[in-house]
Structure 1
Amino acid sequence: MTDQAELGLFIYGIVPSDVEPTPDAAGVGDPPGEVEAVRQGDLAALVSEVGLEQPMGRPADLTAYQTLLDGTAAVAPVLPVRFGTVVTGPDAVQDLLSAHHDRFAEALDELEDTFQYTVHGRYDEQELISEILAENPDAAQLAEQVRGRPELESREARIRLGEIISQSVELRREAENKQLVDAVGGYARHTAPRQPSSELDAVNVAFLVGAADEDEFVAAVEEFAEQRRDLIRMRLLGPLAPYDFVSAHQLVE
Protein backbone atom coordinates (compact mmCIF):
# COMPACT_ATOMS: atom_id res chain seq x y z
CA MET A 1 0.00 0.00 0.00
CA THR A 2 1.43 3.38 -1.03
CA ASP A 3 1.88 5.90 1.80
CA GLN A 4 -0.24 9.04 1.57
CA ALA A 5 2.90 11.19 1.55
CA GLU A 6 3.96 9.56 -1.71
CA LEU A 7 0.73 10.42 -3.54
CA GLY A 8 -0.15 13.37 -5.73
CA LEU A 9 -3.11 14.38 -7.87
CA PHE A 10 -2.93 14.04 -11.65
CA ILE A 11 -5.08 16.79 -13.24
CA TYR A 12 -6.89 15.95 -16.50
CA GLY A 13 -9.04 18.97 -17.21
CA ILE A 14 -11.13 21.87 -15.92
CA VAL A 15 -14.94 21.60 -16.17
CA PRO A 16 -18.05 23.34 -14.80
CA SER A 17 -18.66 22.53 -11.14
CA ASP A 18 -21.77 20.44 -11.83
CA VAL A 19 -19.87 17.84 -13.87
CA GLU A 20 -19.56 14.44 -12.18
CA PRO A 21 -17.12 11.72 -13.30
CA THR A 22 -18.87 8.53 -14.32
CA PRO A 23 -18.45 5.65 -11.84
CA ASP A 24 -16.43 3.63 -14.37
CA ALA A 25 -14.05 6.48 -15.31
CA ALA A 26 -10.48 5.15 -15.15
CA GLY A 27 -7.43 7.33 -14.67
CA VAL A 28 -3.75 6.94 -15.35
CA GLY A 29 -1.41 4.70 -13.42
CA ASP A 30 -1.08 1.01 -12.66
CA PRO A 31 -3.55 0.21 -11.27
CA PRO A 32 -5.67 3.02 -12.78
CA GLY A 33 -6.66 5.72 -10.28
CA GLU A 34 -10.27 6.58 -9.48
CA VAL A 35 -11.29 9.85 -11.13
CA GLU A 36 -12.80 12.48 -8.84
CA ALA A 37 -13.82 16.14 -9.07
CA VAL A 38 -12.22 18.83 -6.90
CA ARG A 39 -14.52 21.88 -6.84
CA GLN A 40 -13.94 25.57 -6.33
CA GLY A 41 -16.68 28.11 -7.06
CA ASP A 42 -18.21 27.48 -10.48
CA LEU A 43 -15.34 25.21 -11.54
CA ALA A 44 -14.09 21.71 -10.93
CA ALA A 45 -10.94 19.82 -11.86
CA LEU A 46 -11.01 16.15 -12.82
CA VAL A 47 -8.22 14.40 -10.93
CA SER A 48 -6.97 11.02 -9.78
CA GLU A 49 -4.33 9.92 -7.30
CA VAL A 50 -0.95 8.82 -8.63
CA GLY A 51 2.27 7.79 -6.98
CA LEU A 52 4.79 10.64 -7.12
CA GLU A 53 7.54 8.19 -8.02
CA GLN A 54 5.43 6.45 -10.67
CA PRO A 55 6.64 7.08 -14.23
CA MET A 56 4.07 8.61 -16.56
CA GLY A 57 3.84 8.38 -20.33
CA ARG A 58 3.01 4.74 -20.95
CA PRO A 59 0.67 4.23 -23.93
CA ALA A 60 -2.01 3.14 -21.46
CA ASP A 61 -1.63 6.42 -19.56
CA LEU A 62 -1.99 8.54 -22.69
CA THR A 63 -5.03 6.50 -23.72
CA ALA A 64 -6.64 6.94 -20.29
CA TYR A 65 -5.98 10.70 -20.37
CA GLN A 66 -7.49 11.14 -23.84
CA THR A 67 -10.41 8.79 -23.22
CA LEU A 68 -11.44 10.68 -20.11
CA LEU A 69 -11.19 14.10 -21.75
CA ASP A 70 -12.91 13.06 -24.99
CA GLY A 71 -15.70 11.36 -23.07
CA THR A 72 -16.15 14.47 -20.93
CA ALA A 73 -16.21 16.75 -23.98
CA ALA A 74 -19.14 14.74 -25.33
CA VAL A 75 -21.34 15.92 -22.44
CA ALA A 76 -19.76 19.15 -21.12
CA PRO A 77 -17.16 21.79 -22.03
CA VAL A 78 -13.66 20.93 -20.82
CA LEU A 79 -10.29 22.68 -20.72
CA PRO A 80 -7.58 20.03 -21.11
CA VAL A 81 -4.64 20.31 -18.73
CA ARG A 82 -1.24 19.38 -20.13
CA PHE A 83 -0.56 15.66 -19.83
CA GLY A 84 1.61 14.83 -16.84
CA THR A 85 0.51 17.73 -14.61
CA VAL A 86 0.65 16.49 -11.00
CA VAL A 87 0.11 18.59 -7.85
CA THR A 88 0.47 17.80 -4.18
CA GLY A 89 -3.21 17.59 -3.22
CA PRO A 90 -6.72 19.09 -3.28
CA ASP A 91 -5.57 22.42 -1.79
CA ALA A 92 -3.20 22.97 -4.71
CA VAL A 93 -6.00 22.18 -7.17
CA GLN A 94 -8.36 24.64 -5.46
CA ASP A 95 -5.65 27.31 -5.46
CA LEU A 96 -5.26 26.86 -9.23
CA LEU A 97 -9.01 27.12 -9.82
CA SER A 98 -9.36 30.13 -7.54
CA ALA A 99 -6.42 32.05 -9.04
CA HIS A 100 -7.72 31.71 -12.62
CA HIS A 101 -11.44 31.29 -11.97
CA ASP A 102 -12.78 34.01 -14.27
CA ARG A 103 -10.54 33.13 -17.21
CA PHE A 104 -11.33 29.43 -16.94
CA ALA A 105 -15.07 30.12 -16.62
CA GLU A 106 -15.06 32.41 -19.66
CA ALA A 107 -13.21 29.84 -21.76
CA LEU A 108 -15.66 27.12 -20.74
CA ASP A 109 -18.58 29.34 -21.75
CA GLU A 110 -17.02 29.81 -25.19
CA LEU A 111 -16.56 26.05 -25.58
CA GLU A 112 -20.15 25.16 -24.69
CA ASP A 113 -21.61 22.76 -27.30
CA THR A 114 -18.38 22.56 -29.34
CA PHE A 115 -16.02 19.70 -30.19
CA GLN A 116 -12.69 19.31 -31.89
CA TYR A 117 -12.44 17.29 -35.08
CA THR A 118 -9.07 16.58 -36.64
CA VAL A 119 -8.70 15.80 -40.34
CA HIS A 120 -5.53 13.85 -41.08
CA GLY A 121 -4.58 12.60 -44.50
CA ARG A 122 -1.52 10.80 -45.82
CA TYR A 123 -0.42 10.41 -49.43
CA ASP A 124 -0.26 7.05 -51.13
CA GLU A 125 3.49 7.05 -51.77
CA GLN A 126 3.47 5.32 -55.15
CA GLU A 127 0.62 7.45 -56.51
CA LEU A 128 2.29 10.60 -55.24
CA ILE A 129 5.66 9.85 -56.83
CA SER A 130 3.99 8.88 -60.09
CA GLU A 131 2.20 12.24 -60.21
CA ILE A 132 5.36 14.18 -59.38
CA LEU A 133 7.36 12.41 -62.09
CA ALA A 134 4.57 13.00 -64.61
CA GLU A 135 4.49 16.72 -63.80
CA ASN A 136 8.22 17.40 -63.41
CA PRO A 137 10.52 16.52 -66.35
CA ASP A 138 13.67 17.05 -64.25
CA ALA A 139 12.44 14.61 -61.63
CA ALA A 140 11.47 12.10 -64.31
CA GLN A 141 14.94 12.34 -65.88
CA LEU A 142 16.66 11.82 -62.53
CA ALA A 143 14.42 8.85 -61.77
CA GLU A 144 15.45 7.30 -65.07
CA GLN A 145 19.13 7.92 -64.29
CA VAL A 146 19.01 6.10 -60.95
CA ARG A 147 16.80 3.24 -62.03
CA GLY A 148 18.73 -0.03 -61.82
CA ARG A 149 22.01 1.63 -60.82
CA PRO A 150 23.84 0.93 -57.53
CA GLU A 151 23.01 3.41 -54.78
CA LEU A 152 26.59 4.55 -54.29
CA GLU A 153 27.12 5.10 -58.00
CA SER A 154 23.95 7.18 -58.36
CA ARG A 155 24.16 8.96 -55.01
CA GLU A 156 24.14 12.56 -56.28
CA ALA A 157 21.20 11.95 -58.60
CA ARG A 158 19.28 10.23 -55.81
CA ILE A 159 19.89 13.14 -53.45
CA ARG A 160 18.70 15.65 -56.05
CA LEU A 161 15.62 13.54 -56.83
CA GLY A 162 14.82 13.31 -53.12
CA GLU A 163 15.09 17.10 -52.79
CA ILE A 164 12.71 17.66 -55.70
CA ILE A 165 10.18 15.21 -54.30
CA SER A 166 10.43 16.72 -50.81
CA GLN A 167 9.90 20.25 -52.12
CA SER A 168 6.98 19.12 -54.24
CA VAL A 169 5.33 17.37 -51.27
CA GLU A 170 5.73 20.47 -49.12
CA LEU A 171 4.07 22.67 -51.77
CA ARG A 172 1.28 20.13 -52.29
CA ARG A 173 0.72 19.85 -48.54
CA GLU A 174 0.38 23.61 -48.19
CA ALA A 175 -2.12 23.71 -51.05
CA GLU A 176 -4.10 20.71 -49.75
CA ASN A 177 -4.41 22.18 -46.26
CA LYS A 178 -5.68 25.46 -47.72
CA GLN A 179 -8.18 23.64 -49.93
CA LEU A 180 -9.38 21.62 -46.94
CA VAL A 181 -9.97 24.74 -44.85
CA ASP A 182 -11.70 26.44 -47.79
CA ALA A 183 -13.94 23.40 -48.32
CA VAL A 184 -15.02 22.67 -44.73
CA GLY A 185 -13.91 25.61 -42.62
CA GLY A 186 -17.23 27.37 -43.12
CA TYR A 187 -18.82 24.77 -40.83
CA ALA A 188 -16.25 25.36 -38.05
CA ARG A 189 -15.86 28.18 -35.55
CA HIS A 190 -12.06 28.01 -35.59
CA THR A 191 -9.31 26.12 -37.40
CA ALA A 192 -5.81 25.19 -36.26
CA PRO A 193 -3.17 23.84 -38.68
CA ARG A 194 -1.10 21.04 -37.15
CA GLN A 195 2.49 20.03 -37.81
CA PRO A 196 2.97 17.06 -40.17
CA SER A 197 3.46 13.78 -38.36
CA SER A 198 5.10 12.17 -41.40
CA GLU A 199 6.89 13.28 -44.55
CA LEU A 200 3.94 11.79 -46.46
CA ASP A 201 1.32 13.86 -44.62
CA ALA A 202 -1.04 15.61 -47.02
CA VAL A 203 -3.37 17.37 -44.58
CA ASN A 204 -3.43 17.78 -40.81
CA VAL A 205 -5.86 20.39 -39.49
CA ALA A 206 -7.95 20.66 -36.33
CA PHE A 207 -11.42 22.23 -36.40
CA LEU A 208 -13.57 23.50 -33.54
CA VAL A 209 -17.11 22.62 -34.56
CA GLY A 210 -20.42 23.61 -32.97
CA ALA A 211 -22.88 20.81 -32.20
CA ALA A 212 -25.44 22.32 -34.59
CA ASP A 213 -22.95 22.14 -37.49
CA GLU A 214 -21.55 18.63 -36.92
CA ASP A 215 -23.55 16.84 -39.61
CA GLU A 216 -22.76 19.42 -42.29
CA PHE A 217 -19.09 19.47 -41.29
CA VAL A 218 -18.74 15.68 -41.43
CA ALA A 219 -20.52 15.54 -44.79
CA ALA A 220 -18.20 18.22 -46.21
CA VAL A 221 -15.12 16.33 -45.00
CA GLU A 222 -16.40 13.10 -46.53
CA GLU A 223 -16.94 14.84 -49.87
CA PHE A 224 -13.44 16.35 -49.73
CA ALA A 225 -11.94 12.93 -48.96
CA GLU A 226 -13.89 11.20 -51.72
CA GLN A 227 -12.50 13.60 -54.31
CA ARG A 228 -8.95 12.59 -53.33
CA ARG A 229 -9.38 8.95 -52.37
CA ASP A 230 -7.00 7.63 -55.04
CA LEU A 231 -4.14 9.83 -53.81
CA ILE A 232 -4.82 10.54 -50.11
CA ARG A 233 -5.92 8.21 -47.33
CA MET A 234 -8.02 10.50 -45.14
CA ARG A 235 -9.11 10.04 -41.51
CA LEU A 236 -11.59 12.10 -39.49
CA LEU A 237 -10.88 11.97 -35.74
CA GLY A 238 -13.56 13.16 -33.33
CA PRO A 239 -15.45 14.40 -31.57
CA LEU A 240 -12.52 15.20 -29.27
CA ALA A 241 -11.72 17.55 -26.42
CA PRO A 242 -10.43 20.93 -27.73
CA TYR A 243 -6.72 20.12 -27.38
CA ASP A 244 -5.60 22.40 -30.22
CA PHE A 245 -7.72 25.41 -29.31
CA VAL A 246 -7.54 26.12 -25.60
CA SER A 247 -6.06 24.55 -22.50
CA ALA A 248 -5.78 25.51 -18.87
CA HIS A 249 -2.01 26.01 -19.30
CA GLN A 250 -2.49 28.45 -22.18
CA LEU A 251 -4.83 30.53 -20.03
CA VAL A 252 -2.43 30.49 -17.09
CA GLU A 253 0.63 31.30 -19.19
Structure 2
Amino acid sequence: MADNGLFVYGIVPSDVEPTSDAEGVGDPPAEVTVVRRGDLAALVSEVGLGEPLGRPADLTAYQELLDGTAAVAPVLPVRFGTVVTGPDAVADLLDAHHDRFAEALDEYEGRLQYTLHGRFDEQALIRAVLADNPAAAELAGQVRGRPEQASREQRIRLGEIISQAVELRRETENRELVDALAGTSVANAVRPPSSELDSVHVAFLVDGDREDEFVDAAEEFARQRIGLMRLRLLGPLAPYDFVSAHQLAG
Protein backbone atom coordinates (compact mmCIF):
# COMPACT_ATOMS: atom_id res chain seq x y z
CA MET A 1 0.00 0.00 0.00
CA ALA A 2 2.98 2.27 -0.52
CA ASP A 3 1.07 4.34 -3.08
CA ASN A 4 -2.29 4.08 -1.30
CA GLY A 5 -3.82 5.48 1.84
CA LEU A 6 -7.11 5.21 3.68
CA PHE A 7 -9.85 7.80 3.24
CA VAL A 8 -11.58 8.16 6.62
CA TYR A 9 -15.32 8.90 6.58
CA GLY A 10 -16.40 8.71 10.20
CA ILE A 11 -16.01 7.23 13.66
CA VAL A 12 -18.56 4.62 14.74
CA PRO A 13 -19.07 1.95 17.43
CA SER A 14 -17.07 -1.17 16.69
CA ASP A 15 -20.13 -3.32 15.93
CA VAL A 16 -21.09 -1.23 12.89
CA GLU A 17 -20.76 -2.95 9.51
CA PRO A 18 -21.02 -1.17 6.14
CA THR A 19 -23.69 -2.57 3.86
CA SER A 20 -22.55 -4.76 1.00
CA ASP A 21 -23.50 -2.10 -1.55
CA ALA A 22 -21.75 0.80 0.25
CA GLU A 23 -19.54 2.75 -2.16
CA GLY A 24 -16.65 5.03 -1.29
CA VAL A 25 -14.86 7.81 -3.10
CA GLY A 26 -12.82 7.30 -6.24
CA ASP A 27 -13.34 6.24 -9.83
CA PRO A 28 -14.38 3.47 -9.82
CA PRO A 29 -15.94 3.75 -6.33
CA ALA A 30 -13.88 2.00 -3.68
CA GLU A 31 -15.11 -0.67 -1.29
CA VAL A 32 -15.91 0.64 2.19
CA THR A 33 -14.37 -1.30 5.06
CA VAL A 34 -13.92 -0.89 8.82
CA VAL A 35 -10.82 -0.48 10.98
CA ARG A 36 -11.65 -1.55 14.55
CA ARG A 37 -9.88 -0.69 17.76
CA GLY A 38 -11.56 -1.90 20.95
CA ASP A 39 -15.07 -0.47 21.16
CA LEU A 40 -14.45 2.09 18.39
CA ALA A 41 -14.09 1.82 14.64
CA ALA A 42 -13.60 3.98 11.57
CA LEU A 43 -15.31 3.67 8.20
CA VAL A 44 -12.59 3.81 5.53
CA SER A 45 -11.80 3.00 1.92
CA GLU A 46 -8.55 2.66 0.04
CA VAL A 47 -7.53 5.62 -2.10
CA GLY A 48 -4.47 6.47 -4.17
CA LEU A 49 -2.31 9.04 -2.39
CA GLY A 50 -2.00 11.02 -5.59
CA GLU A 51 -5.64 10.67 -6.57
CA PRO A 52 -7.52 13.97 -6.78
CA LEU A 53 -10.58 14.14 -4.56
CA GLY A 54 -13.47 16.54 -4.52
CA ARG A 55 -15.49 15.53 -7.57
CA PRO A 56 -19.26 15.84 -7.06
CA ALA A 57 -19.44 12.03 -7.08
CA ASP A 58 -16.89 11.88 -4.23
CA LEU A 59 -18.85 14.33 -2.09
CA THR A 60 -22.05 12.41 -2.79
CA ALA A 61 -20.43 9.10 -1.80
CA TYR A 62 -19.09 10.64 1.41
CA GLN A 63 -22.46 12.08 2.40
CA GLU A 64 -24.53 9.05 1.41
CA LEU A 65 -22.33 6.72 3.44
CA LEU A 66 -22.47 8.93 6.55
CA ASP A 67 -26.18 9.72 6.26
CA GLY A 68 -27.02 6.05 5.73
CA THR A 69 -24.91 5.09 8.72
CA ALA A 70 -26.52 7.76 10.91
CA ALA A 71 -29.93 6.21 10.23
CA VAL A 72 -28.91 3.03 12.08
CA ALA A 73 -26.02 3.98 14.40
CA PRO A 74 -24.26 7.03 15.86
CA VAL A 75 -21.48 8.38 13.66
CA LEU A 76 -18.98 11.20 14.00
CA PRO A 77 -18.28 12.60 10.52
CA VAL A 78 -14.62 13.19 9.78
CA ARG A 79 -13.79 16.19 7.61
CA PHE A 80 -14.03 15.40 3.91
CA GLY A 81 -10.64 14.65 2.39
CA THR A 82 -9.00 13.16 5.48
CA VAL A 83 -6.55 10.51 4.29
CA VAL A 84 -4.11 8.59 6.49
CA THR A 85 -1.32 6.21 5.59
CA GLY A 86 -2.97 2.95 6.62
CA PRO A 87 -4.79 0.88 9.28
CA ASP A 88 -2.11 1.48 11.91
CA ALA A 89 -2.55 5.25 11.57
CA VAL A 90 -6.32 4.86 11.97
CA ALA A 91 -5.83 2.71 15.08
CA ASP A 92 -3.45 5.30 16.53
CA LEU A 93 -6.04 8.03 16.02
CA LEU A 94 -8.75 5.97 17.67
CA ASP A 95 -6.46 5.26 20.62
CA ALA A 96 -5.37 8.88 20.99
CA HIS A 97 -8.94 10.23 21.10
CA HIS A 98 -10.74 7.20 22.52
CA ASP A 99 -12.49 8.83 25.45
CA ARG A 100 -13.57 11.88 23.49
CA PHE A 101 -14.91 9.81 20.60
CA ALA A 102 -16.70 7.36 22.90
CA GLU A 103 -18.36 10.17 24.82
CA ALA A 104 -19.48 11.85 21.60
CA LEU A 105 -20.91 8.62 20.20
CA ASP A 106 -22.97 8.22 23.37
CA GLU A 107 -24.16 11.82 23.04
CA TYR A 108 -25.34 11.37 19.45
CA GLU A 109 -26.91 7.95 19.92
CA GLY A 110 -30.40 8.09 18.44
CA ARG A 111 -29.99 11.68 17.21
CA LEU A 112 -29.99 13.02 13.66
CA GLN A 113 -29.42 16.33 11.93
CA TYR A 114 -31.99 18.20 9.89
CA THR A 115 -31.14 21.39 8.03
CA LEU A 116 -33.68 24.01 7.01
CA HIS A 117 -32.50 26.24 4.16
CA GLY A 118 -34.62 29.02 2.71
CA ARG A 119 -34.37 31.68 0.02
CA PHE A 120 -36.41 34.84 -0.20
CA ASP A 121 -38.59 35.43 -3.22
CA GLU A 122 -36.80 38.53 -4.51
CA GLN A 123 -39.85 40.44 -5.69
CA ALA A 124 -41.89 39.64 -2.59
CA LEU A 125 -38.99 40.72 -0.40
CA ILE A 126 -38.53 44.02 -2.23
CA ARG A 127 -42.25 44.74 -1.93
CA ALA A 128 -42.06 44.07 1.81
CA VAL A 129 -39.03 46.37 2.20
CA LEU A 130 -40.71 49.19 0.28
CA ALA A 131 -43.90 48.78 2.31
CA ASP A 132 -41.98 49.02 5.60
CA ASN A 133 -39.48 51.74 4.63
CA PRO A 134 -40.80 55.11 3.36
CA ALA A 135 -37.31 56.27 2.35
CA ALA A 136 -36.82 53.16 0.21
CA ALA A 137 -40.27 53.62 -1.33
CA GLU A 138 -39.45 57.22 -2.20
CA LEU A 139 -36.17 56.23 -3.86
CA ALA A 140 -37.93 53.48 -5.79
CA GLY A 141 -40.34 56.08 -7.10
CA GLN A 142 -37.47 58.34 -8.13
CA VAL A 143 -35.73 55.65 -10.20
CA ARG A 144 -38.82 54.11 -11.73
CA GLY A 145 -38.88 54.73 -15.48
CA ARG A 146 -35.64 56.76 -15.46
CA PRO A 147 -32.45 55.77 -17.32
CA GLU A 148 -29.99 53.88 -15.15
CA GLN A 149 -27.19 56.43 -15.58
CA ALA A 150 -29.45 59.38 -14.74
CA SER A 151 -30.64 57.73 -11.52
CA ARG A 152 -27.38 56.04 -10.55
CA GLU A 153 -27.04 57.74 -7.15
CA GLN A 154 -30.60 56.93 -6.11
CA ARG A 155 -30.21 53.33 -7.29
CA ILE A 156 -27.07 52.89 -5.20
CA ARG A 157 -28.78 54.28 -2.10
CA LEU A 158 -31.84 52.09 -2.72
CA GLY A 159 -29.63 49.02 -3.13
CA GLU A 160 -27.87 49.76 0.16
CA ILE A 161 -31.19 50.15 1.98
CA ILE A 162 -32.52 46.89 0.54
CA SER A 163 -29.29 45.04 1.36
CA GLN A 164 -29.39 46.21 4.98
CA ALA A 165 -33.07 45.32 5.22
CA VAL A 166 -32.38 41.82 3.91
CA GLU A 167 -29.66 41.27 6.51
CA LEU A 168 -31.96 42.39 9.31
CA ARG A 169 -34.83 40.28 7.99
CA ARG A 170 -32.52 37.26 7.71
CA GLU A 171 -31.39 37.66 11.32
CA THR A 172 -35.02 37.93 12.42
CA GLU A 173 -36.13 34.90 10.41
CA ASN A 174 -33.25 32.76 11.69
CA ARG A 175 -34.06 33.77 15.26
CA GLU A 176 -37.76 33.03 14.79
CA LEU A 177 -36.95 29.67 13.19
CA VAL A 178 -34.74 28.67 16.12
CA ASP A 179 -37.47 29.73 18.57
CA ALA A 180 -40.15 27.84 16.62
CA LEU A 181 -38.20 24.57 16.54
CA ALA A 182 -36.45 24.75 19.92
CA GLY A 183 -39.12 22.64 21.57
CA THR A 184 -38.63 19.72 19.19
CA SER A 185 -34.82 19.78 18.89
CA VAL A 186 -31.91 19.46 21.30
CA ALA A 187 -29.44 21.83 19.64
CA ASN A 188 -29.11 24.16 16.68
CA ALA A 189 -26.39 25.81 14.61
CA VAL A 190 -27.07 28.86 12.46
CA ARG A 191 -25.13 28.67 9.21
CA PRO A 192 -23.80 31.69 7.33
CA PRO A 193 -25.81 32.66 4.24
CA SER A 194 -24.73 31.05 1.00
CA SER A 195 -26.30 33.77 -1.15
CA GLU A 196 -27.62 37.31 -0.74
CA LEU A 197 -31.19 35.99 -0.93
CA ASP A 198 -30.78 33.39 1.82
CA SER A 199 -33.61 33.76 4.32
CA VAL A 200 -32.81 31.04 6.86
CA HIS A 201 -30.09 28.42 7.11
CA VAL A 202 -30.08 26.49 10.38
CA ALA A 203 -29.03 22.96 11.31
CA PHE A 204 -30.91 21.18 14.09
CA LEU A 205 -30.03 18.12 16.15
CA VAL A 206 -33.17 16.05 16.69
CA ASP A 207 -33.94 13.01 18.84
CA GLY A 208 -35.07 10.15 16.65
CA ASP A 209 -38.30 9.68 18.57
CA ARG A 210 -39.28 13.32 17.94
CA GLU A 211 -38.63 13.49 14.20
CA ASP A 212 -42.32 13.67 13.30
CA GLU A 213 -42.91 16.52 15.76
CA PHE A 214 -39.92 18.38 14.40
CA VAL A 215 -40.99 17.99 10.78
CA ASP A 216 -44.52 19.15 11.64
CA ALA A 217 -43.11 22.27 13.34
CA ALA A 218 -40.83 22.98 10.37
CA GLU A 219 -43.76 22.64 7.96
CA GLU A 220 -45.83 25.05 10.06
CA PHE A 221 -42.99 27.60 9.96
CA ALA A 222 -42.89 27.23 6.18
CA ARG A 223 -46.66 27.57 5.81
CA GLN A 224 -46.58 30.89 7.63
CA ARG A 225 -44.12 32.25 5.05
CA ILE A 226 -45.65 31.06 1.80
CA GLY A 227 -45.01 33.68 -0.85
CA LEU A 228 -42.13 35.33 0.97
CA MET A 229 -39.61 32.51 0.83
CA ARG A 230 -39.06 28.98 -0.44
CA LEU A 231 -37.83 26.48 2.13
CA ARG A 232 -36.14 23.09 1.88
CA LEU A 233 -35.86 20.62 4.74
CA LEU A 234 -32.82 18.38 4.35
CA GLY A 235 -32.55 15.22 6.40
CA PRO A 236 -32.20 13.04 8.22
CA LEU A 237 -28.45 13.57 8.02
CA ALA A 238 -25.34 12.69 9.96
CA PRO A 239 -24.65 15.36 12.64
CA TYR A 240 -22.12 17.32 10.55
CA ASP A 241 -22.71 20.66 12.28
CA PHE A 242 -22.52 19.31 15.83
CA VAL A 243 -19.32 17.28 16.00
CA SER A 244 -16.69 19.73 14.78
CA ALA A 245 -14.76 19.38 18.01
CA HIS A 246 -14.35 15.67 17.20
CA GLN A 247 -13.31 16.00 13.57
CA LEU A 248 -9.84 14.93 12.58
CA ALA A 249 -7.49 17.30 10.81
CA GLY A 250 -6.95 16.55 7.15
TM-score, length of structure 1 as denominator length: 0.96
Indicate the residue corresponding to 2:98 in structure 1: 101
Are 1:198 and 2:203 matched, yes or no? no
Q: Distance in 2 between matches of 1:249 and 1:156?
A: 50
What amino acid does structure 2 have at the position aligned with 1:195?
A: P
Are 1:243 and 2:240 matched, yes or no? yes
Residue correspondence of structure 1 range 88-127 to structure 2 within 5 A: 88-127=85-124
Are 1:145 and 2:146 matched, yes or no? no
Q: Distance in 2 between matches of 1:56 and 1:152?
A: 47
Are 1:34 and 2:39 matched, yes or no? no
Q: Does the C-alpha gap of structure 1 residues 113 and 249 become closer, same or farther in structure 2, counting only changes over 3 Å?
A: closer
SS in 1 for 2:99: helix
Are 1:159 and 2:135 matched, yes or no? no
Indicate the residue corresponding to 1:173 in structure 2: 170
Indicate the residue corresponding to 1:129 in structure 2: 126
Cα root mean square deviation, aligned = 1.4
Q: Which runs of 5+ in 1 are unaligned?
A: none
Q: Distance in 2 between matches of 1:139 and 1:162?
A: 9
Deviation at 1:40, TM superposition (A): 0.4
Deviation at 1:186, TM superposition (A): 0.9
Q: Distance in 1 between matches of 2:246 and 2:176?
A: 31
Contact conserved, 1:37 with 1:47, CA < 8 A, in 2?
yes
Deviation at 1:72, TM superposition (A): 0.4
Are 1:223 and 2:212 matched, yes or no? no
Are 1:66 and 2:74 matched, yes or no? no
Q: Distance in 2 between matches of 1:145 and 1:113?
A: 57
- Indicate which of 186, 191, 199 corresponds to 1:189: 186
SS in 1 for 2:242: coil
Q: Distance in 2 between matches of 1:53 and 1:150?
A: 55
Per-residue CA shift, 1:127-163, capped at 9, x if unaligned? Answer: 1101111111111111122222232222211111111
Per-residue CA shift, 1:182-211, capped at 9, x if unaligned? Answer: 111111111111111111111111100001
Q: Runs of 4 or more off by more than 4 Å in structure 1? A: 248-252
Q: Distance in 2 between matches of 1:116 and 1:219?
A: 15
Contact conserved, 2:7 with 2:81, CA < 8 A, in 1?
yes
SS in 1 for 2:167: helix
Q: Distance in 1 between matches of 2:153 and 2:63?
A: 45
Deviation at 1:249, TM superposition (A): 4.3
Indicate the residue corresponding to 1:77 in structure 2: 74
Q: Distance in 2 between matches of 1:251 and 1:46?
A: 13
Contact conserved, 2:121 with 2:230, CA < 8 A, in 1?
yes
Q: Distance in 2 between matches of 1:191 and 1:227?
A: 21
Q: Does the C-alpha gap of structure 1 residues 251 and 50 become closer, same or farther in structure 2, counting only changes over 3 Å?
A: closer
What amino acid does structure 1 have at the position aligned with 2:115?
A: T
SS in 2 for 1:5: coil
Deviation at 1:248, TM superposition (A): 6.3
SS in 2 for 1:202: strand
